[in-house]
Structure 1
Amino acid sequence: MTINCKGNLVDLSSPKVMGILNITPDSFFDGGKFQNKKEILLQTEKMLFEGATFIDVGAYSSRPGAQHISETEELKRIVPVIELLIKKFPEIIISVDTFRSKIAKETVNAGAAIINDISGGKMDAKMFETVADLQVPYILMHMLGTPQKMQQNPVYKDVIQEIILFFAEQIFKLHQLKLNDIIIDMGFGFGKTTQHNFEILKNLSLFKSLDAPILAGISRKSMLYKTLGINAQQALNATTSANTIALLNGASILRVHDVKEAIEAVKIVEQLN
């Protein structure tokens, strides 16, 4: 349960929190909020102070129906931010949210330590080879379809069985390439109905059979706020509830917008042990 982040060994036997830093203008919750250096640095400092082990930087919005941007635009957005964060916070562990192998390579060269791929290697044939060459931890997420079309009509015969099979196949390919630090993410909201999402959350412990740390990314998602008839801005309490369930069912990393509350959930659940 230890991953090597550029020589920094992180023990995931005690759950960790990953703070989200979206530098996109159109993300579903915080799009457009962190567009200049001051805002980016203040938000990162806040998340690190509150206890985030990782900062996940994303320059391509993957919300349902999000606008597709070019590789050039994604690079232009993200590399300067990574360089800025490394300079200000030399000990920071940066995860990069991208499905493109070129972005993965350029950002790791700029100082990032983890690649977080929403497509699980399905949208860029060179991604697995690239992360294996880079020898960085890789977050393997399950998504049905593409961000532009994933929520149109997601259908599964058995959502749990199909996702486990997907992970087993992709993990085997990565192990063949000698990449060992693999984290799995069920992809809540990525080609799943609300019912699918809650079935996955309820059965999250079944994914422990894959012998890989589990990341849960449920923060302020529509599965929560639509269930309660509220909006994403009002979904902090629901997020904490869902994160607690995820921790009880085996999550090793919580990917969140609100670090302080996620750290509190971790501390409460750890008291049970």
Structure 2
Amino acid sequence: MFFSDEAIAQLIQEDVPFLDLTTYGLSIGKELGEIEFSTRHPMTICATEEAARVFEKCGATVEYLVESGTCLPEQQLILKASGSAAALHIGWRVGLNLMEYTSGIASRAKELVNAAKIVNPSVAVVTTRKCFPGTRSISMKAILAGGASPHRLGLSETVLIFQQHLIFIDSIAEIIERINQMRQRFPEQKICIEVETSTDAWMVAEAGVDLIQFDKIPTGELTNLVTELKGKYPSLKLAAAGGINLENIHNYASTGVDILVTSYPYFGKPADIGAKMTRK
């Protein structure tokens, strides 16, 4: 995942628009020290690379870091940096926030992926665009670190037709005509439609869509529907969406769908990472 130098600098400037008044006032900025970050519980690590760039931008030297996507037990070193007190104090909170929030997302994504693949080893866990506005890039890094994948990075890259689109179309025949037109206009793109009923699923399958996304269809009904659809349309990809979380992902994975769409990793506590600063 690419983050520009300007993006890293902006993270620092948001917290330190002018100077660290406390460190400056105490006249300790030139003193030398070290800072270590460690796990307080088992977690999947993320954004250590960005945290390291924060410290380096502040003038510190990063001596050790664990790669994003690494699963660590508690009380394990994540990142270590050394430098002036001024550099360490400026980088401290910015780096910690990056690692705690993204490691929380990565850890929840990892839990989901592991739980789903116990039941269905071939299923893909993908995440929605419901991350907090302005954080999509770092959120995507976090879900990748957890072993999940992005469902859609934005509206510009994929064709996914929702019920809200269909209310502006008058008939089933017109839907099929529009799908055929889109295939000609966007020959490289898959045509995907979200449905809420089995009747709609059969209708759009017959229209020749590439992927059907089921929204909030009960798993009991969904299991039979998936079996029947795959029997008649073996190349059709099927996804389940709507409220999928750690408690019910086993049930959804067992339906036989190819893809599980979820927002669950974004919502929860940050990881708890300890920070210890010492004087050299």
TM-score, normalised relative to structure 2: 0.34
The structure whose residues are more often strand, as a share, is 2
Higher relative contact order (CA 8 A, sep 6+): 2
Which structure is larger by alpha-carbon Rg, 1 or 2? 2
TM-score, normalised relative to structure 1: 0.35
